[in-house]
């Protein structure tokens, strides 16, 4: 289905239970990926909840407005998706920039987010210079010039050398450079350290031992801003542990859904 936010159409997929009465888990994906990032875990997730995911603006089958995007716009997109599907009290799982969206949405809409999973993310990612250099590179050279470096940060060495890496590299290469640059702009302008420090909700952090984008210490420092949070490292995984170690990822999610009374 398509959901519109301020003239931008967002591609949304709902799996599992249908309808707002079921406990709901919402997934927000990372830069250069689309909602199929979550495909490897979908069949492993516990039955019962409604599972919602969408393509961020500029990614997948969603519209590609001109770059740059603001983090406020990405959060408003998440809000529009959740409101269109009458989501209340969900568990919001955000990976990387998706985890920034989780933090921003939790600050803005506690009625939507009851608990969150901050996966491979931070309250602040990199520096404005890093993102502005990335925008300049994608604009002048396209996605292909960035792809090998990104694969090194996304995946551990064994996965990177295996044939399994090909569809994920294709997903990146098929990302619209305008959409990619747009989301880089949103990350460049975001520092959630102060707002996230004020959050009080059940939170679990997940990191990948080989993550070259958001290393374990960054994820740990971020979830430590929220009292009572817990933190887990998945071994033999990089920036996208839901792809590299799907069963371990689901085991952590299922444990969190149980602890938060979602299932
Ligand atoms: O993955 C994200 O959403 C942002 C972090 C990043 O830069 C990933 C990468 O290394 O390309």
ipTM of the complex: 0.93
Rounded to an integer, what distance in angstroms lies between the CA atom of residue 132 and that of residue 250?
34
Choose which residue among 213, 222, 237, 241 to substitute to test ligand 1 binding: the one with the highest number of ligand atoms within 8 A of its C-beta: 213
Residue ranges of alpha helices (H) inside the chain are 39-42, 71-84, 97-108, 128-141, 144-154, 157-161, 166-173, 177-188, 193-197, 216-223, 241-244, 246-259
CA of 17 relative to ligand 1 center, distance in Å: 31
From ligand 1's centre to the CA of 119, what distance in Å? 12
pLDDT at 111: 98
Q: Given this model, what pLDDT does residue 107 score?
A: 98
Residue of 37, 74, 96, 152 to test ligand 1 pocket, by largest number of atoms within 8 Å of CB: 96
Phi first, then psi, for residue 26 (nearest 5°) are -115, 135
Q: Could you list the pLDDT tens digit for every one of the 263 residues in the chain?
A: 999 999 999 999 999 999 999 999 999 999 999 999 999 999 999 999 999 999 999 999 999 999 999 999 999 999 999 999 999 999 999 999 999 999 999 999 999 999 999 999 999 999 999 999 999 999 999 999 999 999 999 999 999 999 999 999 999 999 999 999 999 999 999 999 999 999 999 999 999 999 999 999 999 999 999 999 999 999 999 999 999 999 999 999 999 999 999 99
Q: What pLDDT, on a 0 to 100 scale, did the predictor assign at position 74?
A: 98
pLDDT, position 33: 98
| Class of domain 2-259 (CATH, top level) | alpha beta
- pTM (global) more than 0.90: yes
In the block, tokens 């050398």 appear at: 161
What pLDDT, on the 0 to 100 scale, is given for residue 152? 97
* Residue 101 alpha carbon to ligand 1 centre in Å: 14
Residues 93/37, Cβ–Cβ less than 8 Å: no
Atom of ligand 1 nearest to the CA of 31: 3
Give the 3-state secondary structure of residue 53. Answer: strand
- Mutate which of 28, 29, 30 for ligand 1? The one with the most ligand atoms within 8 Å of its CB, which is 30
Q: Which protein residue has the closest C-alpha to ligand 1 atom 10?
A: 213
Give, to the nearest 10 degrees, the angle between helix 97-108 and helix 71-84.
70
Q: What is the pLDDT of residue 8?
A: 98
- Which distant-in-sequence residues (6+ apart) come within 8 Å of 116 by Cβ? 91, 92, 93, 94, 102, 103, 106, 201, 202, 203, 204
Bond before 68 cis per omega within 30 degrees: yes
Report residues whose beta carbon is within 6 angstroms of any ligand 1 atom.
30-31, 96-97, 125, 150, 153, 213, 239
| Pocket residue to mutate for ligand 1, from 214, 237, 243, most atoms within 8 A of Cβ | 214
How many angstroms does the Cα of residue 201 sit away from the middle of ligand 1? 25
């Amino acid at each position: 289905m398509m959901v519109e936010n301020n003239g931008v159409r967002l591609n949304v997929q709902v799996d599992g239970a249908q309808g707002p009465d079921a406990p709901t888990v919402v997934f927000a994906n990372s830069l250069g990926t689309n909602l199929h990032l979550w495909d490897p875990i979908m069949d492993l997730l516990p039955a019962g909840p409604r599972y919602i995911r969408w393509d961020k603006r500029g990614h997948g089958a969603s519209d590609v407005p001109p770059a740059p995007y603001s983090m406020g716009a990405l959060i408003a997109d998440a809000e529009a998706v959740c409101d269109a599907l009458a989501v209340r009290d969900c568990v919001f799982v955000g990976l990387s920039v998706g985890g920034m969206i989780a933090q921003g949405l939790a600050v803005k809409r506690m009625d939507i987010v009851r608990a969150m999973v901050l996966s491979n993310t931070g309250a602040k990612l990199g520096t404005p210079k890093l993102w502005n250099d990335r925008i300049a590179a994608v604009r002048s050279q396209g996605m292909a010039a960035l792809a090998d470096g990104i694969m090194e940060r996304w995946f551990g060495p064994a996965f990177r050398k295996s044939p399994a890496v090909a569809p994920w590299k294709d997903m990146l290469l098929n990302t619209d450079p305008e959409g990619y640059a747009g989301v880089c702009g949103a990350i460049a302008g975001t520092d959630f350290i102060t707002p996230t420090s004020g959050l009080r909700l059940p939170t679990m952090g997940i990191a990948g031992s080989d993550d070259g984008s958001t290393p374990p210490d960054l994820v740990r420092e971020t979830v430590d801003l929220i009292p009572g949070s817990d933190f887990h490292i998945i071994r033999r995984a990089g920036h996208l542990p839901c792809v590299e170690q799907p069963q371990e990822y689901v085991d952590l999610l299922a444990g969190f859904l149980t602890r938060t009374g979602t299932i």
